[in-house]
Chain A
Amino acid sequence: MFSDFSSWAVGKCWILSGTETGCHACRSRAFQTCSVSQESGEAPDIIHEEASVILEEMAHRLKISTVRFFAFTLTKAFKTLFQHICVNEEGIHRLQQAIQEHPVVLLPSHRSYMDFLLMSYILYTYDLALPVIAAGMDFMGMKFIGEMLRMSGAFFIRRSFGGDKLYWAVFSEYVKTMLRNGFAPIEFFLEGTRSRTCKSLTPKIGLLNIVMEPFFKGEVFDVHLVPISISYERILEESLYARELLGVPKPKESTSGLLKARRILSENYGSIHVYFGQPVSIRSLAQDKVNRCKYNLVPRHIPRKPTKETQSFVTDTAYRIVRLQEDSMVLKPWVLMASILLQNLEGLELSLLTEQTLWLRGLAQSCGAFLDWPDHTPSAKVVSSSLALHRGLVCVSGGRVSLVLGEPQGLVTPEEALFNRAVSVLSCASYRNQILHVFIRPAILAVAIHNAASSKKDEVFNCFSFLCKMFSDEFILCPGDTVQDFEEACYLLVKSGSVQTLQQNIVVTDRGQSTLSFLNGLLESFLQGYQVVCQYFCEEACDSLTEKQYIPAVRSFAVKLILAGNLRCYEVLSSDMQKNALAALLRLGAVSKVKVADQVTLKVNKLAVNSLEDTLGGRLPTQKAVLARL
């Protein structure tokens, strides 16, 4: 289904008309909007001026010569870097058709800087209209390259503009004008930013809201959302991400940084799979869910807060799209191997690894994973070539496979050694994370079965639903879908023969033990990590703990635990997990934010945190009462 196109010729003729007029139209409408939306009594011409500046900063200036230049260099670069770039051509045909019918919004997954270059490159190669892309402002800081990106269709948005009404007005009008005029598809990342962990981030709904509005207001008949899954066999930023997660600040995007990245060109990064999903019609999704008549009573250029009904629809849609992205992520054998290796940090025999990988392959397939396992190749060869591609992460010595622990360079402090080890673990985890979406529901169920006081279905469900609530920032679990998720999990585990449902009881079968223990292992580090965070709040956190201090504090707390030999979980060092855990505690009300003189401090309800910790660890049964109190 994927076709290889690394040898495509570049040199297409391109006609772009009307882009300029589009900008003008947008300008005038945006101004109109602004004058209305601005509550401050500022003079209209000042607002006009401000809006002009914003628009100047934001707008794209698509120039086909730049795109050609990019395409040319990218072809070169891609050829050096990757073995294959595979694209599902039927997806391209679907996209072609969709673009002719309705405005299209491209929603790729976001794992790498490469993503949007890659997208433009593919669309260019297939002679499709180039997308205009909402890119973070930080790219703009890159001299020259920023302008180049702008000329290949990117427009820039500030990372945060929550309070700036004028900015919001200009921005949303800009996007909507693009959409209404339909000159080009719009592209942005639902996840908001690159996922450093390779697991999908919970979607941000702001932009999605903006692109849906023209439909709600009847300005367009329909808008099609196209989920796109970009899977990298090896990510360029692999170890960069791990370091970033461990607290080494990420280098500011700069042109010189990109030049240094040339080093990367000499390495092999395997192949990339780009899967263009079935376009999703907002009209069909919104049927019976959104009452568009609500938009009849206020002029359409006046920005309005979406209603509750609309908001929950947009959220649902966002989750649905991210799940579609996940479902079409192509998984390589290495992903399976990484998952097994992480559960055997001390290393394991190559033959055992091969055997377990094959077993996991079967399980993954029965759960609907989109595996790219080379046919007609002996499994030993598949395993060994994966190990070769990822030799930076694993080493094989004496028939034993284990994670690389970083080169010992002379004298290292215990902290440095721990840090090096953590880099390996987090890098490896970023591959395991790629398969989490396949197993997440059964895995949560496995933990629930393990933790629940009895095998009664409703008790297991209680436990399941608690875990879903706890982990809803960590994994893609659409709020409000818990019952469905539970049923899906039961279905998959029953299907694989791991559990049986007998008269309102969920019973693990004999041959299901290994599956359940694997699934438990999959979530082990998350359960431990969250418990460590809880422990930190109960034992260490002082009253004046600010939000900023939280990450380094929890990190050093965990380092202490690990060095003392009380903790073997390295993933808790990841700032991503720490942030998610905090978000969960805030959401569940166990921790709250208090603003004290310009500083946001965290106020801890130790009792609540403690009971959450115990519930996570399975030491305290999940009780409705506990949840209610939280």
Chain B
Amino acid sequence: MFVCYGVLVMLHPNIGLLLNGFNEHLLPTRQEIMKWNGWGYSDSKFLFNKKGQAEFTGKRYRLSGMILPSLQDWFENTFGASVKQHKSPATPSLNAGALPPANLNEAFLQDLTATGIPFSHEADDRVFRAHGHCLHEIFALREGRGFQRVPDMVTWPNCHNDVVKIVELACKHNVCVIPYGGGTSVTGALECPPEEMRCIVSLDTSQMNRILWIDEKNLVARIEAGIIGQDLERLLNEGGYCTGHEPDSMEFSSLGGWVATRASGMKKNVYGNIEDLVVHIKVVTPRGVMEKSCQGPRMSTGPDVHHFILGSEGTLGVVTEVTMKIRPIPEYRKYGSVVFPNFEAGVACLREVAKQRCAPASIRLMDNEQFQFGHALKPQVSSIFTSFVEGLKKFYITKFKGFDPHQLCVATLLFEGDRERVLQHEKQVYDIAAKFGGLAAGEDNGQRGYILTFVIAYLRDLGLDYYVVAESFETSVPWDRVLDLCRNVKERIIRECKERGVQFQPLTSCRVTQTYDAGACVYFYFAFNYRGLADPVHTYEQVEHAARDEILANGGSLSHHHGVGKLRKEWMKESISDVGLGMLRSVKEYVDPDNIFGNRNLL
């Protein structure tokens, strides 16, 4: 890196200007408070303390600072892992030497410097933006191996016009641009193609994080695409509004990223998915800026050009500004939960709820494995009374109602709206649940379910400390195939693990996270203890590959909201047909003939 710098200095007499570029590195980025080799904030993580008890550190979450007495037992029993004996700690810091040197395009650099847009080619900055959160990416970082190819530089445009300038320069100098939002991709979408010989510029949108205006008459807001989900929600909340778009990654993912991957939010039943929320998109492409001329709520003007951008995964351009629907903050919000005797009953209930179109803001059904896992994450109870009540509840469900603790499963619910309506709605849903043998199991269980949503991602890092690899993947599937798909995919995973020499029983678990009129979104978790395997990541990938084959064979889709990235490219043809793929290709060819946006996702 210093070599590079030296070269630059030699080429460029105006050292002050260059350094200026570097000084701008003191931008307000979140890089400093985030883990470089794992999920989320540096201060928040699960660990087994000296007493052998699990705890969650930090202060950011409801679970933070709490002791989780049953986690260790669950962990050891489920995976055959040993907290005391078998540790696989991560390397403490990045080995900058392992990094390929920055391959800079001097002419581009010169022109970029002239624009005053900040940039950097520090190793940390480059590596931070070289990956998402796929298992193989995190695993490589933890081993200190780094990546074959990383961005050669990072630039931080401040507004739409900055992006226009950068893209123009990139075209002029034939530089590859990879847009970077929140970095939460789980499809390998942020990986740099190893065969890319041009200079790769990571275009970090994090500085474009303002709400430009709020239109209360039409209930829409103009927002810069780099804004992170939780910031957007917080800022809107100040004015009494929200978007209601809450993907599980909302703490870290960005608006532009949502658009680029066709994201889905937990509360889509009330607010809709990203494609329903977006009214107007402005996107900078190598051909120029594309946007619609008005903000009409619906148009019949040929195929919706927004849909070329929604899900384009950074292959066509950079989304800079978005007009999005907003809603007043709901007056009342209530969690809830229902216990079902088994998964089948639960799915039948969700199907009925969808049929009657009375789904609450969120309704999710966890299978038994996840229910047990949720139990393992229960914090220490504070009083004898609480533990007594818990005991009674358990007795009522398992002994009095005869639910098998190894069969039962839980649906968590979230209702939003005005108080009266919520209560009415709640009754309707519980009545349906009762028809399928469901028992109301309290607000607390429901709320905990949703809190877990945010901390669950931290758990993979804990597993990786003890020889356990884990990942999640999702699909959408017609109602009549939900049960068959869940069963077959789990079975396939178990079988593939066995065939590939995994020595321990894997954990496979699924949940139905969204309901639609014609089907549901199913989310799988899958983890195994990899002790004894030479190349756990490869084994993991083979199993996931087989699981995806199984999903497709059972009528599931390639992805519900994670996207395709590079991980699932090979199935695109099969998924959307030759002609479909050709259509996408021809759009790419027209919009970006020189493959400036060369992350090679999707196609």
Q: Which residues from chain A contact B305 at a C-beta distance below 8 Å?
A: none
Interface string of A294-321 (1 = CB under 8 A from B): 0110011000000000000000000000
Q: Which residues from chain B contact A292 at a C-beta distance below 8 Å?
A: 553-554
Tell me the smallest distance from the CB of A289 to a CB of chain B, in Å: 13
B602 in the interface (beta carbon within 8 A): no
Q: Which residues from chain B contact A218 at a C-beta distance below 8 Å?
A: 481, 484-485, 488, 553-555
Tell me which residues from 177 to 193 in chain A have a Cβ below 8 Å from any Cβ of chain B: none
Interface string of B488-516 (1 = CB under 8 A from A): 10011000000000000000000000000
Contact B553 A221 (CB under 8 A): no
Please name the residue on chain B nearest to A102 by beta carbon. Answer: B491
Contact B488 A221 (CB under 8 A): yes
A221 to B552, alpha carbons, bound, how many Å? 14
A219 in the interface (beta carbon within 8 A): yes
Known: A293-B574, A299-B480, A300-B480. A221 touches B491 (CB 8 A): yes
B585 in the interface (beta carbon within 8 A): no
Most buried by A among B481, B552, B553: B553
**Interface of B: prevailing SS:** helix
Q: Which residues from chain A contact B487 at a C-beta distance below 8 Å?
A: 221
A583 to B554, alpha carbons, bound, how many Å? 40
Contact B484 A219 (CB under 8 A): yes
Known: A299-B480, A300-B480. A293 touches B488 (CB 8 A): no
Q: Which residues from chain B contact A299 at a C-beta distance below 8 Å?
A: 480
Tell me the smallest distance from the CB of B553 to a CB of chain A, in Å: 4
Please name the residue on chain B nearest to A295 by beta carbon. Answer: B555
Tell me which residues from 460 to 489 in chain B have a Cβ below 8 Å from any Cβ of chain A: 480-481, 484-485, 487-488
Most buried by B among A218, A221, A291, A300: A218
A299 to B555, alpha carbons, bound, how many Å? 10
Contact A293 B481 (CB under 8 A): no
Interface string of B541-552 (1 = CB under 8 A from A): 000000000001
Please name the residue on chain A nearest to B571 by beta carbon. Answer: A293
**Interface of A: prevailing SS:** loop
Most buried by B among A221, A295, A299: A221
- The count of residues in chain B whose C-beta lies closer than 8 Å to any C-beta of chain A is 13
Interface string of A119-148 (1 = CB under 8 A from B): 000000000000000000000000000000
Interface string of A272-306 (1 = CB under 8 A from B): 00000000000000000001110110011000000
Q: Which residues from chain A contact B553 at a C-beta distance below 8 Å?
A: 218, 291-293
Tell me the smallest distance from the CB of B413 to a CB of chain A, in Å: 29
Please name the residue on chain A nearest to B575 by beta carbon. Answer: A293
Q: Which residues from chain A contact B492 at a C-beta distance below 8 Å?
A: 221
A291 to B554, alpha carbons, bound, how many Å? 11
Tell me the smallest distance from the CB of A176 to a CB of chain B, in Å: 13
A131 to B484, alpha carbons, bound, how many Å? 24
Please name the residue on chain A nearest to B490 by beta carbon. Answer: A221
Q: Which residues from chain B contact A293 at a C-beta distance below 8 Å?
A: 552-553, 555, 574
A218 to B481, alpha carbons, bound, how many Å? 8
- The count of residues in chain A whose C-beta lies closer than 8 Å to any C-beta of chain B is 10
Tell me the smallest distance from the CB of B495 to a CB of chain A, in Å: 9
Tell me which residues from 192 to 246 in chain A have a Cβ below 8 Å from any Cβ of chain B: 218-219, 221
Tell me the smallest distance from the CB of B500 to a CB of chain A, in Å: 15
Tell me the smallest distance from the CB of A5 to a CB of chain B, in Å: 34
Q: Which residues from chain B contact A296 at a C-beta distance below 8 Å?
A: 555
Tell me the smallest distance from the CB of A100 to a CB of chain B, in Å: 13
Please name the residue on chain B nearest to A292 by beta carbon. Answer: B553
A299 to B518, alpha carbons, bound, how many Å? 12
Q: Which residues from chain A contact B552 at a C-beta distance below 8 Å?
A: 293
A288 to B491, alpha carbons, bound, how many Å? 19
Q: Which residues from chain B contact A221 at a C-beta distance below 8 Å?
A: 487-488, 491-492
A295 to B554, alpha carbons, bound, how many Å? 8
A218 to B555, alpha carbons, bound, how many Å? 8
Please name the residue on chain A nearest to B488 by beta carbon. Answer: A221
Q: Which residues from chain A contact B554 at a C-beta distance below 8 Å?
A: 218, 292
Please name the residue on chain A nearest to B491 by beta carbon. Answer: A221
Q: Which residues from chain A contact B488 at a C-beta distance below 8 Å?
A: 218, 221
A292 to B555, alpha carbons, bound, how many Å? 9
Q: Which residues from chain B contact A291 at a C-beta distance below 8 Å?
A: 553
A219 to B483, alpha carbons, bound, how many Å? 9
Q: Which residues from chain A contact B555 at a C-beta distance below 8 Å?
A: 218, 293, 295-296
A292 to B574, alpha carbons, bound, how many Å? 12
Please name the residue on chain A nearest to B485 by beta carbon. Answer: A218
Please name the residue on chain B nearest to A217 by beta carbon. Answer: B484
Tell me the smallest distance from the CB of A135 to a CB of chain B, in Å: 30
Tell me the smallest distance from the CB of B45 to a CB of chain A, in Å: 37
Tell me which residues from 190 to 215 in chain B have a Cβ below 8 Å from any Cβ of chain A: none
Q: Which residues from chain A contact B574 at a C-beta distance below 8 Å?
A: 293
A220 to B394, alpha carbons, bound, how many Å? 33
Interface string of B337-356 (1 = CB under 8 A from A): 00000000000000000000
Please name the residue on chain B nearest to A296 by beta carbon. Answer: B555
A300 to B487, alpha carbons, bound, how many Å? 17
Tell me the smallest distance from the CB of B150 to a CB of chain A, in Å: 37
Tell me the smallest distance from the CB of A62 to a CB of chain B, in Å: 25
Q: Which residues from chain A contact B484 at a C-beta distance below 8 Å?
A: 218-219
Please name the residue on chain B nearest to A219 by beta carbon. Answer: B484
Tell me the smallest distance from the CB of B93 to a CB of chain A, in Å: 45
Tell me the smallest distance from the CB of B498 to a CB of chain A, in Å: 12
Q: Which residues from chain A contact B480 at a C-beta distance below 8 Å?
A: 299-300
Most buried by B among A219, A295, A299: A219
Tell me the smallest distance from the CB of A591 to a CB of chain B, in Å: 43
Interface string of B531-568 (1 = CB under 8 A from A): 00000000000000000000011110000000000000
Please name the residue on chain B nearest to A300 by beta carbon. Answer: B480
Please name the residue on chain B nearest to A297 by beta carbon. Answer: B555
Q: Which residues from chain B contact A219 at a C-beta distance below 8 Å?
A: 484
A291 to B555, alpha carbons, bound, how many Å? 12
A630 to B574, alpha carbons, bound, how many Å? 40
Interface string of B136-177 (1 = CB under 8 A from A): 000000000000000000000000000000000000000000
Q: Which residues from chain A contact B481 at a C-beta distance below 8 Å?
A: 218, 300
A296 to B574, alpha carbons, bound, how many Å? 12
Tell me the smallest distance from the CB of B550 to a CB of chain A, in Å: 9
Tell me the smallest distance from the CB of A88 to a CB of chain B, in Å: 26
Please name the residue on chain A nearest to B554 by beta carbon. Answer: A218
Please name the residue on chain A nearest to B481 by beta carbon. Answer: A218
A565 to B480, alpha carbons, bound, how many Å? 70
A300 to B554, alpha carbons, bound, how many Å? 11
Please name the residue on chain A nearest to B574 by beta carbon. Answer: A293
Please name the residue on chain A nearest to B552 by beta carbon. Answer: A293
Please name the residue on chain A nearest to B484 by beta carbon. Answer: A218
Tell me the smallest distance from the CB of A299 to a CB of chain B, in Å: 7
Interface string of B216-227 (1 = CB under 8 A from A): 000000000000
Please name the residue on chain B nearest to A291 by beta carbon. Answer: B553
Tell me the smallest distance from the CB of B372 to a CB of chain A, in Å: 23
Tell me the smallest distance from the CB of A297 to a CB of chain B, in Å: 9
A390 to B485, alpha carbons, bound, how many Å? 57
Interface string of A385-398 (1 = CB under 8 A from B): 00000000000000
A63 to B488, alpha carbons, bound, how many Å? 33
Tell me the smallest distance from the CB of B593 to a CB of chain A, in Å: 33
Tell me the smallest distance from the CB of A555 to a CB of chain B, in Å: 52
A219 to B491, alpha carbons, bound, how many Å? 13
A221 to B483, alpha carbons, bound, how many Å? 11
What are 22 residue pairs bridging A and B, where the CB atoms are less than 8 Å apart in the complex?
A218-B481, A218-B484, A218-B485, A218-B488, A218-B553, A218-B555, A219-B484, A221-B487, A221-B488, A221-B491, A221-B492, A291-B553, A292-B553, A292-B554, A293-B552, A293-B553, A293-B574, A295-B555, A296-B555, A299-B480, A300-B480, A300-B481
Which positions in B face A, CB cutoff 8 Å?
Answer: 480-481, 484-485, 487-488, 491-492, 552-555, 574
Known: A218-B485, A291-B553, A292-B553; 19 extra A-B contacts, CB below 8 A, are A218-B484, A218-B488, A218-B553, A218-B554, A218-B555, A219-B484, A221-B487, A221-B491, A221-B492, A292-B554, A293-B552, A293-B553, A293-B555, A293-B574, A295-B555, A296-B555, A299-B480, A300-B480, A300-B481
Which 5 A-B pairs rank lowest in CB-CB distance, beginning with the nearest? A292-B553, A218-B554, A296-B555, A221-B491, A218-B484
